[in-house]
């Protein structure tokens, strides 16, 4: 461990907070219909878009209508992306398939489409060996934008459910049930938030060496006359939204480890910031929309404490090195001119701290980008991503998904707190009753249940075990791979212990390649189910809360904006995560972390 390593983590947390505060204020203005400094530029295109789509946004939607719009939009998005990937060769006329790649097999396409639609970006394919530039740009990157916008919309809708005050006289009107308009939230998120910030990030990345062109791959013979090839493509534009939208699907197979996606220490820092920027800002947006910023600060403190804990544990573990290195005779201490530590599957320019922090950043959120091989992390270092996923992506979490997930946990914590003091639980003046708690409990439990169910199915069946490369992984490592695959897909994260495969590609270019149908389908259904079921529960909670009477806070009201509540909330998150996942985690990463034994 070095001063630079610890400094990186501290500086990152400070810069993130400094950027998230103003963005949170801006986003609160965007979602409450106030004027913003972007209005002169964007108001016209925004209203043009409403006209083209054919919506009247002055009409709010109740939660069922909101959900209907969201599901319809997702269904059409799914079909369109599936069509594009299955007809990749058809689009070669655009000149955006210079390597002449074939279309995706149906099973891999099913998995990939479900993956990008649900903001997961789990990848059972290698970008540079299977995907045309057209598919990457017009197919995958578009879903990177809109799946992120859908997540944010749900979060904003839930916030409205919590904070809206409906006057008693209006309680039965249609307006009283409105949690906003899906189309308006979608369009405003894309135009006012995602597109401008993506553009800025893309240009920063470009200036540092992330490529952006439509060239064929370049073949040449090196200075020792060995034939080599450089992959090309429009990377920077996609890289920006891949991170900003917490999507995580790499343009190249090795994702943000590839120098053309992430070229130096600065791009690494910018990419990490891009991932956490919106999830962090949304917490402040929430505080402002409740009218009590301290509500936001309490949640932010909860997230930041858990995040810093995860980063510290991961950094210490990776700096210590792995048993395999030590048995082979390597010395893993820091020495002059070398980083030391577990450099297996890590890039020199990022070193230990830059790799550990990146992977904590992308696994607390639902981003799932990686700049190093998660599978090669030490037992404890690798247990950190596991723990982050086990906490169901509430530590910052995905754009939107993080906030609506933690709000479900907040309601649960309020309920438990209410039980302890023996009062009807209230949150921001609204009573939390049996119906809400049922919905909250379902919303929280769906994700871990689908992760564990799918893991069990994949571990117990021969078809499931076909995805494990037994030449490299066996014993606890093989179980870790499987558990991580379904944990990651259920949490819509998309990072992988990448030895686990759903795709076999004998030669480049998709010719003769085929999917492992079991893994593709099980993963695809897991992602879809674990994305849309919680969304429906979150919207339903918004729907029941929106019209509730607001009672003024009294002396007996449990405060939800102080350190006591932060401790209670962390306790609830850790408890739920530990109770659901501890037995499974014991069999994989923890076993490896506790022993110097090789398998």
Partner 1 sequence: MTIRKELVRSLVAMLVFTLLLGVAYPLVVTGIGQLAFRSQANGELVHVHGRLVGSKLIGQNFALPVYRHGKPLYQHGVLVTRPDPRYFQTRPSGTTPADNDAATSFANYGPNSTVTEKAIAANIAAYIALNGRYYPGGLTAAKVPVDAADTSASGVDPDISVANARIQAYRVAAVRHLPLGTVDALVAKYTIGRSLGFLGEPSVDVLELNLALDRL
Q: Which of residues 121-140 bind partner 1 (CB under 8 A)?
A: 126, 128-129, 137-139
Q: Nearer Cβ to partner 1, position 324 or 441?
A: 324
Question: What's the min distance (Å) between Cβ of 111 and partner 1?
Answer: 18
Binding mask 225-254 toward partner 1 (x if CB under 8 A, else -) reads -x-xxxxx-x-xxx--x----------xxx
582 binds partner 1 (CB under 8 A): no
Site for partner 1 in 17-56 (CB under 8 A): 49, 52-55
Nearest one of 273, 157, 172, 262 to 210, comparing CA atoms: 262
The sign of the dihedral angle between the CA atoms of 558, 560, 563, 566 is positive
For helices 563-585 and 379-390, angle between their N-to-C axes, nearest 10 degrees: 120
Question: What's the min distance (Å) between Cβ of 264 and partner 1?
Answer: 5
Site for partner 1 in 391-420 (CB under 8 A): none
Question: What's the min distance (Å) between Cβ of 571 and partner 1?
Answer: 30
Q: Are 318 and 332 in contact (CB under 8 A)?
A: no
372 binds partner 1 (CB under 8 A): yes
Question: What's the min distance (Å) between Cβ of 232 and partner 1?
Answer: 7
Can you tell me which of 249, 379, 443, 494 binds partner 1, judged by CB under 8 A?
379
Q: Between the CA of residue 438 and those of 179, 353, 451, 456, 580, what are the distances in Å?
A: 20, 42, 20, 26, 18
92: its two tokens = 């070669």
Three-state secondary structure of 223-261? CCCCEEEECCCEHHHHHHHHHHCCCCCCCCCCHHHCCCC
| Region binding partner 1 by CB under 8 A among candidate stretches 296-304, 340-348, 396-404, 446-454 | 340-348
Q: Nearer Cβ to partner 1, position 384 or 566?
A: 384
Binding mask 252-271 toward partner 1 (x if CB under 8 A, else -) reads xxx--xxxx--xxxx-xx--
Q: Between the CA of residue 339 and those of 295, 334, 447, what are the distances in Å?
A: 41, 5, 38
Site for partner 1 in 309-328 (CB under 8 A): 321-325, 327-328
Q: Nearer Cβ to partner 1, position 383 or 395?
A: 383
Question: What's the min distance (Å) between Cβ of 470 and partner 1?
Answer: 10
Pairwise CA distance, residues 207 & 188, whole Å: 28
CB atoms near residue 98 (< 10 Å): 15
Question: What's the min distance (Å) between Cβ of 360 and partner 1?
Answer: 16
Sequence-ordered list of residues with C-beta below 8 angstroms from that of 528, at least 6 positions apart, any chain:
114, 117, 118
Question: What's the min distance (Å) between Cβ of 174 and partner 1?
Answer: 14
Q: Nearer Cβ to partner 1, position 327 or 579?
A: 327
Binding mask 88-127 toward partner 1 (x if CB under 8 A, else -) reads --------------------------------------x-
Question: What's the min distance (Å) between Cβ of 301 and partner 1?
Answer: 26
Tell me how long the chain is.
Answer: 599
Site for partner 1 in 273-312 (CB under 8 A): none
DSSP string covering 357-380: HHHHHHHHSS----SS-GGGS-HH
Sequence-ordered list of residues with C-beta below 8 angstroms from that of 187, at least 6 positions apart, any chain:
46, 49, 50, 53
Q: Between the CA of residue 72 and those of 69, 77, 83, 535, what are the distances in Å?
A: 5, 9, 17, 14
Can you tell me which of 108, 186, 274, 410 binds partner 1, judged by CB under 8 A?
186
Number of residues that bind partner 1 (CB under 8 A): 134
Question: What's the min distance (Å) between Cβ of 42 and partner 1?
Answer: 12
Q: Nearer Cβ to partner 1, position 321 or 534?
A: 321
Q: Are 454 and 528 in contact (CB under 8 A)?
A: no
Site for partner 1 in 496-515 (CB under 8 A): 497-499, 508
Binding mask 514-553 toward partner 1 (x if CB under 8 A, else -) reads ----------------------------------------
Q: Nearer Cβ to partner 1, position 357 or 437?
A: 357
Can you tell me which of 106, 214, 453, 525 binds partner 1, judged by CB under 8 A?
214
In angstroms, the first-to-last Cα distance of the chain is 27
Question: What's the min distance (Å) between Cβ of 437 and partner 1?
Answer: 31
Site for partner 1 in 143-172 (CB under 8 A): 145-146
| Region binding partner 1 by CB under 8 A among candidate stretches 215-223, 398-406, 443-451, 538-546 | 215-223
Question: What's the min distance (Å) between Cβ of 76 and partner 1?
Answer: 4
Nearest one of 366, 410, 408, 370 to 389, comparing CA atoms: 366
Q: Which segments within 123-275 are labelled E, that is strand?
A: 218-221, 227-230
Can you tell me which of 208, 459, 517, 544 binds partner 1, judged by CB under 8 A?
208
Nearest one of 139, 62, 78, 148 to 114, comparing CA atoms: 78
Nearest one of 402, 378, 377 to 573, comparing CA atoms: 402
72 binds partner 1 (CB under 8 A): yes
Pairwise CA distance, residues 214 & 238, whole Å: 13
Can you tell me which of 28, 108, 141, 280 binds partner 1, judged by CB under 8 A?
141
Question: What's the min distance (Å) between Cβ of 348 and partner 1?
Answer: 4
Pairwise CA distance, residues 45 & 51, whole Å: 10
| Region binding partner 1 by CB under 8 A among candidate stretches 19-27, 70-78, 401-409, 574-582 | 70-78
Can you tell me which of 40, 169, 329, 552 binds partner 1, judged by CB under 8 A?
329
DSSP 8-state code for residue 166: P
């Amino acid at each position: 461990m070095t001063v630079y390593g610890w400094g990186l983590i501290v500086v990152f947390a400070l810069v993130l907070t400094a950027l998230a505060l103003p963005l949170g204020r801006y986003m609160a203005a965007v979602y409450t219909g106030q004027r913003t400094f972007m209005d002169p530029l964007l108001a016209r295109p925004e209203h043009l878009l409403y006209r083209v789509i054919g919506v009247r946004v002055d009409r709010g939607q109740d939660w069922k209508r909101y959900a209907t719009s969201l599901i319809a939009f997702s269904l059409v998005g799914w079909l369109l992306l599936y069509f594009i990937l299955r007809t990749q060769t058809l689009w070669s006329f655009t000149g955006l398939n210079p390597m002449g790649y074939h279309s995706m097999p149906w099973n891999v396409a099913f998995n990939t489409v479900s993956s990008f639609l649900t903001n997961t970006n789990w990848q059972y394919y290698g970008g540079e060996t299977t995907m045309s530039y057209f598919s990457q740009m017009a197919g995958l990157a578009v879903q990177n934008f809109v799946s992120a916008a859908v997540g944010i919309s749900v979060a904003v809708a839930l916030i409205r459910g919590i904070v809206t005050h409906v006057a008693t006289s209006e309680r039965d009107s249609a307006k009283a049930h409105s949690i906003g308009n899906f189309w308006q939230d979608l369009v405003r998120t894309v135009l006012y938030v995602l597109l401008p910030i993506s553009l800025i990030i893309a240009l920063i990345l470009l200036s540092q060496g992330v490529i952006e062109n439509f060239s064929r791959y370049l073949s040449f013979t090196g200075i020792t006359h060995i034939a080599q090839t450089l992959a090309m493509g429009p990377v920077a534009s996609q890289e920006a939204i891949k991170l900003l939208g917490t999507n995580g699907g790499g343009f190249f197979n090795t994702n943000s480890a590839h120098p053309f996606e992430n070229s130096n220490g600065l791009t690494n820092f910018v990419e990490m910031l891009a991932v956490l920027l919106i999830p962090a800002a949304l917490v402040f947006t929430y505080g402002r929309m409740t009218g009590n910023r301290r509500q936001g600060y309490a949640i932010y403190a909860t997230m930041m404490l858990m995040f810093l804990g995860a980063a510290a544990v991961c950094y210490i573990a990776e700096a210590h090195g792995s048993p395999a290195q030590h048995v082979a005779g390597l010395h893993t201490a820091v020495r002059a001119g070398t980083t030391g530590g577990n450099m297996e599957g890590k890039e020199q320019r990022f070193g230990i701290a830059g790799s550990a922090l990146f992977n904590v950043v992308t696994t607390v959120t639902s981003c799932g980008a990686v700049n190093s091989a998660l599978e090669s992390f030490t037992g404890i270092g690798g247990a950190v991503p596991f723990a982050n996923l086990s906490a169901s992506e509430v530590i910052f979490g995905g754009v939107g998904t993080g906030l609506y997930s933690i709000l479900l946990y907040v309601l649960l914590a309020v309920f438990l707190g209410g039980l302890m003091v023996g009062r009807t639980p209230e949150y921001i003046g609204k009573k939390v009753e049996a119906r809400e708690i049922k919905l909250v409990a379902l919303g929280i439990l769906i994700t871990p249940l689908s992760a564990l169910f799918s893991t069990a199915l994949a571990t117990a069946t021969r078809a499931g075990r076909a995805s494990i490369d037994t030449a490299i992984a066996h014993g606890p490592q093989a179980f870790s791979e499987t558990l991580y695959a379904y944990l990651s897909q259920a949490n819509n994260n998309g990072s992988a212990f990448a030895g686990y495969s759903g795709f076999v590609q004998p030669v480049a270019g998709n010719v003769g390649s085929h999917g492992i149908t079991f893994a593709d389908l099980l993963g695809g259904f897991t992602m879809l189910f674990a994305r849309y079921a919680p969304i429906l529960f979150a919207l339903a909670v918004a729907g029941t809360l929106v019209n509730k009477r607001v009672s003024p806070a009294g002396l007996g009201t449990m405060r939800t904006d102080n350190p006591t509540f932060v401790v209670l909330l962390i306790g609830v998150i850790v408890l739920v995560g530990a109770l659901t996942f501890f037995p499974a985690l014991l069999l994989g990463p923890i076993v490896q972390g506790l022993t110097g034994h090789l398998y």
